[in-house]
Amino acid sequence: MSKKNWPLWEIFVRSKNGLEHRHFGSLHAADAEMALENARDVYTRRNEGVSIWVTESKHITASNPENNGELFEPAQDKVYRHPTFTIYQTK
Amino acid sequence: MKENLYNYILGIADNSLILGQRMGELCGHGPSLETDIACTNISLDLLGQVRSYFQYAAKIAGDDRTEDDIAMLRKERDYKNVLLVEQPNLNFAHTIGRQFLFDVYHLAFLAELQKSTDLTLSAIANKCIKEVSYHERFSSDWVKRLGDGTSESKEKIQEAINDLWTYTDELFHQTKADKATVLESVGVDVTKLKDDYYKRVKDLLEEATLKIPDSKWFQKGGKEGIHTEHLGYLLTDLQYMQRTYPNMEW
């Protein structure tokens, strides 16, 4: 038997009352159609979802953890960027 | 008690029960995590259907028999499933081939059962058909993938279809209960499903680049309780808990 694995797919499911698709996990499948069927069986068998998106993991571009400093740290001391920061004066 | 109706329901339900048990055997043993869960889901769908049928059968029996008694405590000869569904999981191609050859029939059967004048049966069929539509999609997709896959997968699915072909004709045999319930517009006339069945199966096998077996010799007996040797072993598994710990519940 071939040891070659099917490619990895990322699965996004929109829950019944959810407004957007959320990342549920990943699984292996030979193509998109099989990924949908597998996602249906693996992630929605307990009535979790009303819609599924699948995309091959290789198509996802991720940020590099090594760059976390320059990417995310500058935001840490800027709490005033939260909308709750502003105090509205009420009479 | 309406004996014909009771036996008719058992004939339908036993197919799902035995096939459900077969698919359940793959729990933890499927070729990959994804197909393992898919097979187990199919098994659970089928067992859920069986519950509806046996609850109805128990009501018709009208004695103290429960759905569990009917499912778990009959002897081999009292199971009326077709021989096809009791065939073992020799490999994934056999599992898929068996599922496909049954699903095509099952889907056509339920479409007709929805029209039954028996409102309970028609309601059960109405609920089951969505599940079975998915089973048929799953198994026919896999027949295509295996047939049109590697030379090894093609060889295995062809072998499975060739081996299982001999059990297909029995799907369209009528029992005494079949004939009686068809007269009352309760049962489905399975003889009328045969042409469409073979057409659908042959079309898909062609699409899967597989050869259609030309064997004209068919096995039969399951519907009358005469089974292949495999059913006995399956039942010892299925019935073990109830036989060892009578009336146990969980």
What are the boundaries of each domain within chain B? Answer: 3-244
Chain B residues within 8 Å of chain A (Cβ atoms): 32-35, 37-38, 41, 134, 137-138, 141, 145, 150
Beta-carbon separation of B138 and A30 below 8 A: no
Beta-carbon separation of A42 and B145 below 8 A: no
What are the structure tokens assigned to B168, written together?
């297909």
CATH code of B3-244, in short, is: 1.20.1260.10
- Please tell me which residue of chain A has the smallest CA distance to B144: A34
The domain over range A8-85 is classified in CATH as 3.40.50.150: no
Give the DSSP H/E element, type plus range, for residue A10: strand A8-15
> Does A1 have pLDDT greater than 50?
no
Least Cα separation, residue B152 to chain A (angstroms): 9
Least Cα separation, residue B12 to chain A (angstroms): 25
Alpha helices in chain B (DSSP H): 3-24, 33-61, 67-72, 83-86, 92-113, 119-147, 151-165, 176-183, 194-207, 230-244
ipTM, interface predicted TM-score of the complex: 0.75
All residues of chain A having their beta carbon less than 8 Å from the beta carbon of residue B137 are 37
Over residues A15-45, the pLDDT tens digits come to 888 889 999 999 999 999 999 999 999 999 8
- Please tell me which residue of chain A has the smallest CA distance to B39: A41
Cα–Cα separations (whole angstroms), residue B205 to A67, B83, B99, B214, B238 = 53, 21, 14, 13, 33
Please report, for chain A, the start and end positions of each structural domain, with discontinuous segments joined by +. 8-85
Give the pTM: 0.89
Over residues B41-91, the pLDDT tens digits come to 999 999 999 999 999 999 999 899 999 999 999 999 999 999 999 999 999
